[in-house]
Amino acid sequence: MTRTVVESKTKTAVLGFDEPFCVIGERINPTGRKKLAAELEAGDFSTVEKDALAQVAAGATVLDINAGVVYNSNPNPNETEPPLMTKIVELVQGLVEVPLCIDSSVPGALEAGLEAAEGRPLLNSVTGEEERLELVLPLVKKYNVPVVAISNDDTGISEDPDVRFDVAKKIVERAADFGIPAHDIVVDPLVMPIGAMATAGQQVFALVRRLREELGVNTTCGASNISFGLPNRHGINNAFLPMAMAAGMTSAIMNPVALPVGPKKLAEKKADVEAKGVILPPDMDDEAFCQLFGLGSTQPRAGKEMEAIRAANLLTNNDPHGGAWIKFNKAPEAEGAAGEGARGRRGGGRRRRA
């Protein structure tokens, strides 16, 4: 049975077909986060600390670390990214116990992360590109770590799933030449936005099944890509993750945290409340307001995707006796459970009568 073991100094995360889904927190990544990038260049790590704690609290079992800041003071990431990676890895593993995923396109930053990380981190990533294979696989071998293998090559990302499968197969075979076992390769079959490609979901489900059955490898993906550009992205992601898990997907690089209610949304709701003639007590703080008006929380919480994943763990028989599900639902979020009883009896009743 394929088991990919990722470790910190004190904790182990296992990717496997008979393991709960592995949630790799994606938040510690300045790509597309201008504010975070500026903070990091200025030596301010407060957001990194918050993101590390919030993601673990939300249920992430591995944290992705990407230090890809392009400094205004120095445009060469080969000089700036490695020391920043070292700094963030040391900071995060001093703060939380979960294993890390070292994520960079800069070779020096990958090696800096591997040097700084305790235990057995996951490396993110190798692709089918020749240069990348020759550059990353020796690091994977030298540090004896598992690696994310993204199924694109020098020809780019193919829209043909068979080509993406062949790229993954090539990476697994090339890794074998380096003495790297298939169980240390975690293939990302590449998730296309369903809004751009109507077959994107079916492609991923079929690919994950093939990768599992024919190559015996674990799989991961950038889960939120599936809903890119469409309304109510949570609604799509919440269905996509269980469907991918049913096909055999064993991990995802994703945001496990529900964004806290921001000042703008808070102000809008307060204006709405006032307009409706409701008078609030002067001493009511924002968090109390959010909770009373069903607005969520000013604090980060586990996102709905985590509920979908925990339910899918139960439905794939990776939550023995439903212990994790029951514990998860002792949280205040567990609404309507009682109210559902009646419907359950009806459902059961229909069966008995049929």
Please state, in angstroms and rounded to a whole number, the distance separating the CA atoms of residues 250 and 212: 10
Q: How far apart are CA 239 and CA 245, in angstroms?
A: 10
Which helix (H) or strand (E) is 305 found in, with range?
helix 304-315
In Å, how far are 71, 194, 327 from 304, measured between CA atoms?
Answer: 35, 20, 16
DSSP state of 198: T
List the one residue out of 222, 216, 242 whose CA is nearest residue 314.
Answer: 242
3-class DSSP state for residue 164?
helix
Which of 186, 247, 251, 300: binder of a second copy (CB under 8 A)?
247
Q: Tell me which of 12, 76, 199, 297 binds a second copy, using CB under 8 A.
A: 199
Name which of 165 and 240 has its Cβ closer to a second copy. 240
Q: Which of 38, 176, 271, 292 binds a second copy (CB under 8 A)?
A: 292
Site string for a second copy, 203-232 (x = CB under 8 A): --x----------------xxxxxxxxxxx
Residue 253 interacting with a second copy (CB under 8 A): yes
Q: How far is the CB of 56 from a second copy (least distance, A)?
A: 18
Among 62, 112, 186, 312, binds a second copy (CB under 8 A): 312
Q: What is the Cα–Cα distance from 184 to 40, expressed in whole angstroms?
A: 32
- Identify any residues that bridge with 251 across adjacent strands, giving them in sequence order: 22
Residue 127 interacts with a second copy (CB under 8 A): yes or no: yes
**Does residue 201 touch a second copy according to CB under 8 A?**
yes
Contact between 38 and a second copy per CB under 8 A: no
- The least CB distance from residue 10 to a second copy, in Å, is 27
* Residue list 69-108, contact with a second copy (CB under 8 A): 103, 105
Phi-psi region of 193 (alpha: psi -120 to 50; beta: other; left: phi over 0): beta
138: closest CA among 99, 96, 107, 182?
Answer: 107
Smallest CA-to-CA distance from 62 within 175, 185, 166, 146 is with: 146
Cβ neighbour number for residue 49 with a 10 Å cutoff = 16
Looking at 195, 270, 286, 287, which residue binds a second copy (CB under 8 A)?
Answer: 195
With CB under 8 A as the rule, give the number of residues binding a second copy.
100
Per-residue contact string for residues 106-125; x = within reach of a second copy by CB under 8 A: ------------------xx
Print the binding letters for residues 18-37 with a second copy: x by CB under 8 A, - otherwise.
Answer: --------x--x-xxx----
Span near a second copy by CB under 8 A; candidates 138-146, 164-172, 175-183, 335-343 = 335-343
DSSP, res 75: -
Closer residue to a second copy, CB minimum distance, 17 or 118: 17
